[in-house]
Amino acid sequence: MATVDTTFTRRKILRDELIGLYGVVERNLYLTKRYFLWDVAFLLWTIANTLTIVFISRGVDLSPAARNELATKLLVGGVIWAFLGIIFEIVTETVAWERWEGTIEYTFMAPVSRPVHLIGMGIYAVIYGLVRAAAIFVAVVAFIGIHLPHANYGAAVALLAIASISFIGVGMMTAVLPLISPEKGTQLGFVAQGLMLVVSGVYYPVSVLPHWMQWIAKISPATYALRGNRNQILHGAGIAWADVWPLLVIGTLSIPIGLVVFRAGERYAKKHGKLKRSG
């Protein structure tokens, strides 16, 4: 009788984890392909939503230059709101969609590690979110006729990518919520998104917020993404270290905290029998 190989070399484990990461991204590509028209419809809704915000600038009595600046600030807020929304939605779907399809037990009993699984979801969310944010940006600029002669798009995308590390970390914390509450957990992810943006100056400067909220704004990654992106789009600024280092610090902390929170939630779900399709 042949012996069963139950040894696992470090090299094989690493290789398997990378293939697992690829598998998560690949699966999301398949699903995007299958739900493409639904995604286009959702994109149109987000563009309409962003337009309702940016049109506010057209109703304000300002000089044309000041109006253009206000429209750009609102546009950056709207685009980042949409970008963050997609990241939270996709990372939260790590659990919610699998439960809805009934595949959750198969995925969670597979040997891929949870960090790789969640980071795979995060990577796809960032790629998809960036493409979508670019589409919203271009559509609104073309529709309203905003002039952006100095915009530094490369720096804007790079800063958003850096900020995404923190967004994924926070997304991991909210991804655990559908494990604990299958019915309401996903909605709580949107609550986290809204709370993060309200303190980060999404459509207004942080300085207008009450003092205690300004303190919270300092630990929100969206604050630095919004500030940096506005400077890059309006004034053609590069990637400012003043925006990058807080994002790196928050990102370095939020990913491990996100994983710890998710692991605790998974343990709770295993203890209470919630890791199954019907919750």
Partner 1 sequence: MFTSAVSVRDLSKVFSRRKGLFQRRRRAALSNVSFDMGRGECVAILGQNGSGKSTLVRLLSTLLLPDGGSAHIFGHDVFKEPRKVRRLVNRVSVEASFFKKMSAAENLAYAARFYGMGPRETHAKIPVILERVGFPSARRNESMENLSRGMQQKVALARALLTSPVLLLLDEPTTGLDPRSKQEVQTFIREIREAHDSTILLCTHDMKEAEDLADRIGLLDRGELLFLEPVEDVKERYGVGTLEEAFFAATGRTYEDERTEDDEEREVFA
Q: Which residues bind partner 1 (CB under 8 A)?
A: 1-4, 6, 8, 12, 15-16, 19-20, 22-24, 26-27, 30-31, 34-35, 101-103, 105-113, 267, 270-273, 275-277
Min dist CB 267 to partner 1, Å, is 7
C-alpha 87/C-alpha 22 separation (Å) is 18
CB of 103 or CB of 187, closer to partner 1: 103
Q: Kindly report the three-state secondary structure assignment for every residue of the chain.
A: CCCCCCCCCHHHHHHHHHHHHHHHHHHHHHHHHHCHHHHHHHHHHHHHHHHHHHHHHHHCCCCHHHHHHHHHHHHHHHHHHHHHHHHHHHHHHHHHHHHHHCCHHHHHCCCCCHHHHHHHHHHHHHHHHHHHHHHHHHHHHHHHCCCCCCCCHHHHHHHHHHHHHHHHHHHHHHHCHHHHCCCCHHHHHHHHHHHHHHCCCCCCCHHHCCHHHHHHHCCCHHHHHHHHHHHHHHHCCCCCHHHHHHHHHHHHHHHHHHHHHHHHHHHHHHHHCCCCCCC
Min dist CB 228 to partner 1, Å, is 36
Which residues, other chains included, contact 6 with Cβ-Cβ below 8 Å and sequence gap of 6+?
A: none
Min dist CB 224 to partner 1, Å, is 35
CB of 35 or CB of 204, closer to partner 1: 35
CB of 91 or CB of 179, closer to partner 1: 179
Min dist CB 7 to partner 1, Å, is 9
Q: Which two tokens stand for residue 28?
A: 């999301």
CB of 12 or CB of 150, closer to partner 1: 12
Min dist CB 269 to partner 1, Å, is 9
Min dist CB 24 to partner 1, Å, is 8
CB of 7 or CB of 63, closer to partner 1: 7
Min dist CB 276 to partner 1, Å, is 7
CB of 61 or CB of 183, closer to partner 1: 183
CB of 49 or CB of 107, closer to partner 1: 107
